[in-house]
Amino acid sequence: MGDEGIQKYIDEYLAEGIGQNLYELIFEVVKQECRKYPPVLYSPYKSWDKYAISGLAHDFMIEKLIGKGWLEHHLYTQETINGLRQALRRDLRHFLISKKEKSEISNLYGRVKKILKNNDHFKSFYPSGKFHLSIWGLSEWIDQGKSVEQNLEKIVEAMFSVKLPPLIRYKPESEKLSHLISNDDLERLLIEIFEHLKKSLSLSMIIEALRYRLGVLSTEFVKLQDSIKVGNVESNLTYEEKIPSLDQGYPEKQFERSEIVNRIYQKLSDRQRKILACRLCENYSTYEDIGKQLGISKSTVQNEIEIIVDMMKNEDINHRDAEDIIMQLSDLCYQYLNNSDQITK
């Protein structure tokens, strides 16, 4: 039996859509959650004042809760008001992450585009009016440029064969935006993947493969009180002074969790990532529903989830860390599902 208190929200939704009660509930969730994210990246006003919070709540309701049908689904599947709040908090987090993801990819897209256009190492073999569809390779090529690699898995594999300095993908709460890779390393990465594949690539496939290569965490464990090193020289600044947005209580633990998340994520197949996204983020409650969404059988979904559970057990995750790790993993899989949908479209 569900919480009788949630019935008033269902009645209101059936009568008028988002009325006063639902608006106040959603607004309160947005108000509490948004302050965990730096306004410089997420708010057009660069602060979380009442106008910024109201605007975010409005966009969230229009684009996701109503536009995607999430609110109606939650009202009929959640049995308590607390459950409804938790679902809204999770959806808002995904909504905010997707906004930052678009900013990061836009930043990366612009840098790659500039390198390809302005660097003598590269040339376009099949120009297109839509730049993201243009085909690129090495300028020294003649016949090789006519062959185009379209297998994303092979491109990603080629990128991982290139050694890069340690990369850190900042958390959504961070005030950093783009990936930590210099233009020199980005240029070198492009040259080496072309040499490795010996085939040309579309810009869109390059960007998609870079999502995987630059999303990998290679973390170094440090104390916040340690001095920042530039080469072998220590500066006067500490990590605590330079990175105030990290969790002040348990930074080493945060890095460790991220490393576990990344390790599990890299082991997941394309299908397993989509299954997790449907299960944890898209609110498909049964194996049958997930199977229908992905075009696979109910038993296949069950078998894949059992494999994923075994992966997590092998990491020896304690109960306290499990929820945070699952949330981070669900965010990655949710982004992967969205990116896959965009490629299909």
The domain locations on the chain are 4-100, 119-213, 250-344
Q: pLDDT band at residue 190, thresholds of 50, 70 and 90?
A: very high
Greatest Cα pair distance, the chain, in angstroms, is 71
Residue 339 has pLDDT above 50, yes or no: yes
Residue 162 has pLDDT above 80, yes or no: yes
Residue 323 has pLDDT above 80, yes or no: no
Q: Is 198 left (phi over 0), alpha (psi -120 to 50) or beta?
A: left
Q: pLDDT band at residue 9, thresholds of 50, 70 and 90?
A: very high
pTM of this structure: 0.42
Q: What percent of the chain has pLDDT over 90?
A: 15
DSSP state of 5: G
What per-residue confidence (pLDDT) applies to 296?
92
35-40 CB contacts, 8 Å cutoff, 24+ apart: 36/173, 37/96, 37/172, 37/173, 38/173, 38/174, 38/175, 38/245, 40/175
- Written as six digits, the tokens of 333 are 């899989």
What per-residue confidence (pLDDT) applies to 199?
92
What per-residue confidence (pLDDT) applies to 226?
55
SS3 123: strand
**54-80 residue pLDDT tens:** 888 888 898 888 887 889 888 988 888
Q: What would the mean pLDDT of 323-327 be, rounded to a whole number?
A: 69
Residue 282 has pLDDT above 80, yes or no: no
* HEC readout, 150-202: CCHHHHHHHHHCCCCCCCCCCCCCCCCCCCCCCHHHHHHHHHHHHHHHCCEEE
What per-residue confidence (pLDDT) applies to 40?
65
Q: pLDDT band at residue 17, thresholds of 50, 70 and 90?
A: confident
Q: pLDDT band at residue 122, thresholds of 50, 70 and 90?
A: very high
What per-residue confidence (pLDDT) applies to 193?
94
